[in-house]
Structure 1
Amino acid sequence: MTLSWTVTPNVEWTPTVYLPMREVDSPFVDISTRPNVVDLFEAGADDSITWFSFAEGFLFPWGGELHSGVAVSSDGFLSFDPAAWPYHWNGPLPDRVRGEVHLAPFWDDIRAPGGGRILAAVLEDGSHVIQWPKMDRYSRGADLNFQVVLFPDGAIEYRYGTMAPGCIDELEANGSSATIGYQNPSGSVWYVLHYGADAVAFPGGLENRSFRMDAGVAGSVTLHPTATGVYPVCAEVAGYRTCEVLEVGVLSP
């Protein structure tokens, strides 16, 4: 099934287009040895947040506004709010109490242990990568590695590398207590890729998998629905938001 959209803004702003996330084959590529890599935190960072300024000329659309940087939390989320708090206690999306949590590749109570760092780099295509390498839970030897990639056109990818449990439960390494998805600043648009309620891990595990939200004022994406559901497309600009939905019915063979 192909889902296509066209957004026509009535004001001279760049809209944010929100779409369902889909699995893609983009690999997790470690950025730790790149010459331009930036250390965002000291090793051992826990319940911390810091601001990462994008390269000159790069502006990312979120919440109907363009942003020149992003707040990075050691607890596995990004926020475009410079005043964001480092919430370690994750919840389901939408979360209007913790509305500063915008992009959540693995929002959970995690930390960078003694040998771990949280990194950022700008790639040759202009995309910006934020990487949480060798993250742990409760100092129990887990080795959790994941990235967010922000593309110039507003697309987003969550990429997962090694997600080894160490002494924690293998389910936890695969998101059984994590929140994975996104929400806009007002909590009026959101997408839940996974919420680890009731200790449920991500189906099939996270290791060596990637997920993408396509973006842009016009385009198309191929979806493979396995169940009857609603597929929304929302656009937001300058305080205005509109959504359209495509209802899909999957028939039993």
Structure 2
Amino acid sequence: MAVIDDVLAICVFLLVMSFILPITSGGSVPKYLIILIVIFPVLIGLITGGITAFIMKKIRSEKVCAITVFAGVLVTAAMTALANHYLMPVPVLNFMLSGMVYSATFANILDEKKLEDIMKYCTPSISACFALIVLNLGAPLDYHLILGAGIFTAVYIIARAAGKIGGAALGAQLSHAPATVKKYLGLVILPHSGVSLVMTGIAISALKGDFGQYGNIVRGTIAAAAVINEIIAVFLARKGFKAAGEMGKAIKCK
């Protein structure tokens, strides 16, 4: 659910960005980017993910498979960079979307047992890299802007919470999911993630020059919302897990 949530958010964000860029760049960005900004990363991820899965099916060693996964990451990043440089008028392709599609592709092609064995070697490195990404993206945020964000922060937090909780409840209702899913899924997906910081960096890079003041508003709003959400939303997520009867269930299964 978290991955699907992130992928949809990135796709919507990039589509909105494709409308904003022509305005902030003085109309120098062609309109066909609206489609290519999503299609190129998806195609790159599908190609590299499919090839990586095909290679891993031929390999018996779990360690070699893990190395193949990381090699695929580098190839995916290189292809996205080349597409950015040679196929796009401005470098707007999103590396995170390429990576998400890449990993989702080979994860759905490989059988579950082999994937689980491979991820034993990949997970520690992935966790370390994710921590570095969040630190790198969060470090430039000016936390002095938190107090100045004011009403924008309140609107962002309330709208985000309403979308998460309301969307999860509606989805559960339409899919006839259990009552616990309808009541508590929205709460457990409230905490902020590094994806919002990635989007913040992209948005700020597009809001320069005459639009710099709006970049400061975005920077302050997300910084404030991230701090507040990590205090409140994590507590609410824990309450949601507990109310749904999911707390400690994984430990009992072992």
State the TM bucket, normalised to the shorter chain. Answer: under 0.3
TM-score, structure 2 normalization: 0.26
More helix as a share of residues: 2
TM-score, structure 1 normalization: 0.26
Determine which structure has greater relative contact order: mean sequence separation of CA pairs < 8 Å that are 6+ residues apart, divided by chain length: 1
